[in-house]
Amino acid sequence: MTYIAKPRFHHPGLKKNALGFTHRDYEGKISTLCAGCGHDSITASIIEACFELSIEPHRVAKISGIGCSSKTPDYFLGNSHGFNSVHGRMPSVLTGANLANRDLIYLGVSGDGDSASIGFGQFAHSIRRGVNMTYIVENNGVYGLTKGQFSATADRGSKSKKGVMNTDNAIDLVAIALQLGATYVARSFSGDKRQLVPVIAGALQHKGAAFIDVISPCVAFNNHAGSTKSFDYVREHNDAVNRLDVITGRDPITVDYAPGTVQIVEQHDGSRLALRKIDADYDVHDRVAAQAFLQKHAAKGQIVTGLLYVDPEAEDLHSHLNTVDAPLNSLEAQDLCPGSTVLDKINASLR
Amino acid sequence: MKPTDISAPDYFHKVVDCQWACPAHTPVPEYIRLIAEGRYSDAYMINWKSNVFPGILGRTCDRPCEPACRRGRVEEKPVAICRLKRVAADFKDDIKQRLPRSAPRNGKRIALVGGGPASLTVARDLAPLGYHCTVFDADPKAGGMMRTQIPKFRLPDSVIDEETDYILSLGIEFKGGQRIDSMKQLLAEGYDAVFVGSGAPRGRELNIPGRKEAASNIHIGIDWLSSVSFGHTDKIGKRVIVLGGGNTAMDCCRTARRLGGVDVKVIVRSGFEEMKASPWEKEDAMHEDIPILNYMVPIAFTHDNGKLTGVTFQKVRAEYDAKGKRSLVPAGEPDVTIACDDVLVAVGQENAFPWIERDCGIAFDKWDMPKVDPKTMASTHPKVFFGGDAAFGPKNIIWAVAHGHDAALSIHRLLSGEDVNERPLPEVHVTSQKMGIHEWSYDNDISPEKRFKVPHRDKVIALKDIRAEVELGYDVKLALGEAHRCLNCDVQTVFSAPLCIECDACADICPMDCITFTENGEEAELRGRLKAPTPHPDQDLYVSTELKTGRVMVKDEDVCLHCGLCAERCPTGAWDMQKYLIDMVHAGTSCPSKRRSAA
């Protein structure tokens, strides 16, 4: 653990976003995770994505559970709202917060233990309900805080640091998210920020349940030969289906790609994603094909990354429930109690 | 780009901007750390070895280190390096026991002309090796311009006495009051080598109408200062005009304020910003109620019955041609005459070598300056060396010291039968500072403090006494605060590509966005792809060998805080913080070269 605070000085030539902030303004406290932890790179990517999207920090609510990953919201967006909840209960706390105030941007941060074990049910239901959120799982395949036991996402046949083989089958959170109806599904790698930053930025702009599984090597307990979540293994077996660019604002698209290789996805709110296809046959709008593609490649030992599925016309829980537009805290007594005339009308309609 | 060769002694030396900028290459961060630890004597000795006059320079140095200081690129102001040097001198214990012992005489005799900083440096370097050094000076005491031209309110005699005594006590023969009038004669006395450190003793004249008629109230700046220094002059008129914009002009005007000048003005030809005087010296002058008027060219001294009445000026403005070269053109305004009682002319200094016969084997160039090799300080006469202002015209004390070291090395090599032109490489030490998992043997926590002001004596008191030192120096607490501002640029970030797993931890933590992992390329193009491109292309990029993914690590040295967070967050120890120390080659510190012949 680093004892000194990160110096406040920053590069004099640092870029500023539309709000006049530098990326340093989106930082939090200095990380207390192990040196080299993949989670810190995800932290840096979240910072970068929020900076690039010129998100006002006070509009973000970061909610997490328990675990190494769930500690990370302390390390980014120091000026945002935060709630470090009970183990595995991030999804329900987030759902509640979202129902109470739909105006905030909800960022759920969880880990493989928090989401695939103790909070598996919570994870499933928040996705199933289509809560408007960005749900990031920082997935390292081990329980880092308790010294490296296999987690539920560890691949069968992968070796622990002690040399023990994992005999249980792995939960593929991406496959489950697809199956449960998530409307933005991606997988990425903490060691590839060029892919990860736009994937996070796209998810933050997505209206609906956005799920990102980020493979994040645990340098202390899961970065050895025989591990399937090490830097080396992921780099060797990474099969990216596409590259994403998030287009902010109304600017014309200036990204220079060879014709025919780029697909522009316009989302509900008008935000646009430019997808550079790597696998020409991959269709990012086909949920069923995506599931098959994933399983086929997983069987070959490949890790499929990129934006795997997006539904640009997604709806969220609020539209399903037809809730009131305004955050609950802004409703006045008059809104909440419209008076006896209205009550009489309702009663009359039920007679 | 090619992988950076960090084993080249200059690579890391350049990163220590202050040390690189210092003509004597004093290891600044090293002594600042010692000051922070309260080890003032140790800090003093590092300075003494490198720049010979820490107490003097700590008050008067031109400070080329400070504009170079990395801190000045990170926040508003550089570390007050110069004033910290003075702290070491002010708070040290008795260091006499640490001075070199004089070695048995080796039978070689060196004559040094002039008792200023250049000659004293040569003598300091050579005497401990057994050379018999004889210093000649026209003045009775050693110190040269440091004693005669720098006013006592900036540099008290006690400091000069102390530091010249350290040198003279090494068994050096000082012949005060003895002016050398003939180089031929000196050479005939059979010295093994002669060093000329006689300075630039002649103040430039200002030959405009009225100069002769009003001569009794027009004084040449440096002559007047030295006359004040020796107590021959102790008053001046109430209204004084100082002509010139260099540090001598600043010394003149402030001295005039203390000798009865009430209405003292500095008037310069150029613009205020382009004046040669150091910004802090201009500030000090203005603080003493001395206005500085600019863009005024003196065209005549006005006088009445042989008595000066004022100076007439033409008003000009600056015009720049396409190449950016400045010329002063008349502004078209009427000339102004400013009344005064005395004028001090400080418009430059010149060398003068009337005592060197032009046929004694020392060649002179078309500007009537001796031909001197800037590396070896050798003249065209095999036994004669130059240094200080005598070599290349007026510079400053720290340059004189640097010349002195080089000349001493040359003389030592010459008299040891070695090739003077062959210069031994400096010795370099690079040592890891790792003490524990996240512990370093230097203080890596970056102080956010702004530069601390040096306390000054109350103006009313200071102006009453010409010998009262204006700057009081930092006290221990201020010195500690200022020392903590140093970024420890000599503690280098050293990267080992084979250990790197490309986890990005260093790039993520770096507060200054110095580190980028990217594809290699040509420098200009690569610079554009850095996380935060720098506007200072003179600052090097540190490029690693190729990493596993085919990328390279590129570190921009420009604004690195040397906080060591990259090394703290590195899981594999691919980054390490290593202290770089370079021992500049002085006479006697290097190994004799192989080709040494029996001398």
Q: How far is B151 from chain A (nearest CA, A)?
A: 40
Residue A11's Cα: distance from chain center in Å? 29
Q: Among B69, B70, B504, B568, which would you mutate to test the A interface (most chain A Cβ atoms within 10 Å of its Cβ)?
A: B504
Residue B108's Cα: distance from chain center in Å? 31
Average of per-residue pLDDT across A45-67: 96
| CB-count burial class (<10 Å; 0-12, 13-18, 19+) for B326 | exposed
Give the C-alpha separation, B130 to B28, whole Å.
Answer: 30
Question: Closest chain B residue to A47 measured between Cα atoms?
Answer: B508
Q: How far is A51 from chain B (nearest CA, A)?
A: 14
Q: Positive or negative, the Cα torsion across A289, A294, A299, A302?
A: positive
For B292, the 3-state DSSP assignment is strand
pLDDT for A242 beyond 90: no
Q: Among A3, A4, A194, A236, which would you mutate to test the B interface (most chain B Cβ atoms within 10 Å of its Cβ)?
A: A4
Q: What value does the mean pLDDT of chain A take?
A: 92
Verify whether the Cβ–Cβ distance A6 to B505 is below 8 Å.
Answer: no
- Taking contacts as CB-CB distances below 8 angstroms, the residues of chain A near B533 are 13
- Taking contacts as CB-CB distances below 8 angstroms, the residues of chain B near A7 are 446, 448, 511, 561, 563
Q: How far is B512 from chain A (nearest CA, A)?
A: 5
Chain A residues within 8 A (CB-CB) of chain B?
A: 1-15, 24, 30-31, 34-38, 40-41, 43-44, 190-191, 193, 217, 219, 223, 231-232, 235
Give the C-alpha separation, A163 to B104, whole Å.
Answer: 71
Verify whether the Cβ–Cβ distance A219 to B571 is below 8 Å.
Answer: yes
- Tokens standing for residue B177: 């009051």
- Taking contacts as CB-CB distances below 8 angstroms, the residues of chain A near B450 are none
Does B220 reach chain A within 8 Å, measured CB to CB? Answer: no
Verify whether the Cβ–Cβ distance B504 to A191 is below 8 Å.
Answer: yes
Question: Closest chain A residue to B504 measured between Cα atoms?
Answer: A41
Verify whether the Cβ–Cβ distance A217 to B511 is below 8 Å.
Answer: no
Verify whether the Cβ–Cβ distance A193 to B74 is below 8 Å.
Answer: no
Question: Closest chain B residue to A31 measured between Cα atoms?
Answer: B509
| B35: number of Cβ within 10 Å | 25
Helices B397-415 and B117-126, packing angle to 10 deg: 40
Verify whether the Cβ–Cβ distance A7 to B448 is below 8 Å.
Answer: yes
Verify whether the Cβ–Cβ distance B512 to A10 is below 8 Å.
Answer: yes
Q: Which of A223, A245, A244, A138 is nearest to A189 (CA)?
A: A138
Q: How far is A11 from chain B (nearest CA, A)?
A: 5
Whether A184 contacts A309, CB under 8 Å: yes
Verify whether the Cβ–Cβ distance A12 to B559 is below 8 Å.
Answer: yes
Does B69 reach chain A within 8 Å, measured CB to CB? Answer: no
Verify whether the Cβ–Cβ distance A235 to B503 is below 8 Å.
Answer: no
Q: How far is B14 from chain A (nearest CA, A)?
A: 20
Question: Closest chain A residue to B75 measured between Cα atoms?
Answer: A9
Verify whether the Cβ–Cβ distance B511 to A9 is below 8 Å.
Answer: yes
Verify whether the Cβ–Cβ distance B534 to A8 is below 8 Å.
Answer: no
Verify whether the Cβ–Cβ distance B513 to A14 is below 8 Å.
Answer: yes
Does B570 reach chain A within 8 Å, measured CB to CB? Answer: yes
Q: What confidence score (pLDDT) does residue B100 get?
A: 92
DSSP string, B70-93: THHHHSSS---HHHHHHHHHHH--
Q: How far is A12 from chain B (nearest CA, A)?
A: 7
Q: What confidence score (pLDDT) does residue A21 get?
A: 96
Type and span of the H or E element at B459: helix B459-464
Cross-chain CB nearest to A36 (options B514, B549, B571): B571
Verify whether the Cβ–Cβ distance A9 to B503 is below 8 Å.
Answer: no
Average of per-residue pLDDT across A300-324: 93
- Taking contacts as CB-CB distances below 8 angstroms, the residues of chain A near B438 are 1-3
Q: What confidence score (pLDDT) does residue B597 get?
A: 47
Q: Using pLDDT thresholds of 50, 70 and 90, give the confidence band for residue A247.
A: confident
Q: Which of B230, B221, B201 is nearest to B352 (CA)?
A: B201
| Amino acid at site A110 | S
Does B535 reach chain A within 8 Å, measured CB to CB? Answer: yes
Average of per-residue pLDDT across A148-152: 95
Question: Closest chain A residue to B557 measured between Cα atoms?
Answer: A11
Verify whether the Cβ–Cβ distance B446 to A7 is below 8 Å.
Answer: yes
| Amino acid at site B183 | M
pLDDT, tens digit, for every residue of A210-236?
Answer: 999 999 999 999 999 999 999 999 999
pLDDT for A264 beyond 90: no
- Taking contacts as CB-CB distances below 8 angstroms, the residues of chain B near A31 are 509, 569
For B7, the 3-state DSSP assignment is coil
- Taking contacts as CB-CB distances below 8 angstroms, the residues of chain A near B571 are 34-37, 219
Q: Among B76, B501, B506, B560, which would you mutate to test the A interface (most chain A Cβ atoms within 10 Å of its Cβ)?
A: B501
A–B: how many Cβ contacts below 8 A? 101
Question: Closest chain A residue to B562 measured between Cα atoms?
Answer: A7
Verify whether the Cβ–Cβ distance B571 to A40 is below 8 Å.
Answer: no
Q: Which residues of A119-137 are buried (b: 16+ CB within 10 A; e: fewer)?
A: bbebbbebbebbbbbbbbb
Question: Closest chain B residue to A28 measured between Cα atoms?
Answer: B509
Indicate the DSSP class of residue B383.
Answer: T
pLDDT for A53 beyond 60: yes
- Tokens standing for residue B71: 């801190």
Whether B327 contacts B301, CB under 8 Å: no
For chain B (599 residues), the mean pLDDT of every run of 10, in chain order, is 92 96 97 97 97 96 96 96 97 95 90 96 96 96 94 96 96 94 95 95 91 94 93 94 95 96 95 93 95 96 93 93 88 94 94 92 93 96 96 94 97 94 91 91 95 95 94 96 97 97 95 96 93 91 96 96 95 96 86 51
Q: What confidence score (pLDDT) does residue B325 get?
A: 87
Three-state SS letters, B116-178: CHHHHHHHHHHHHHCCEEEEECCCCCCCCHHHHCCCCCCCCHHHHHHHHHHHHCCCCEEECCC
Verify whether the Cβ–Cβ distance A35 to B448 is below 8 Å.
Answer: no
Question: Closest chain B residue to A42 measured between Cα atoms?
Answer: B508
Q: What confidence score (pLDDT) does residue A295 get?
A: 92
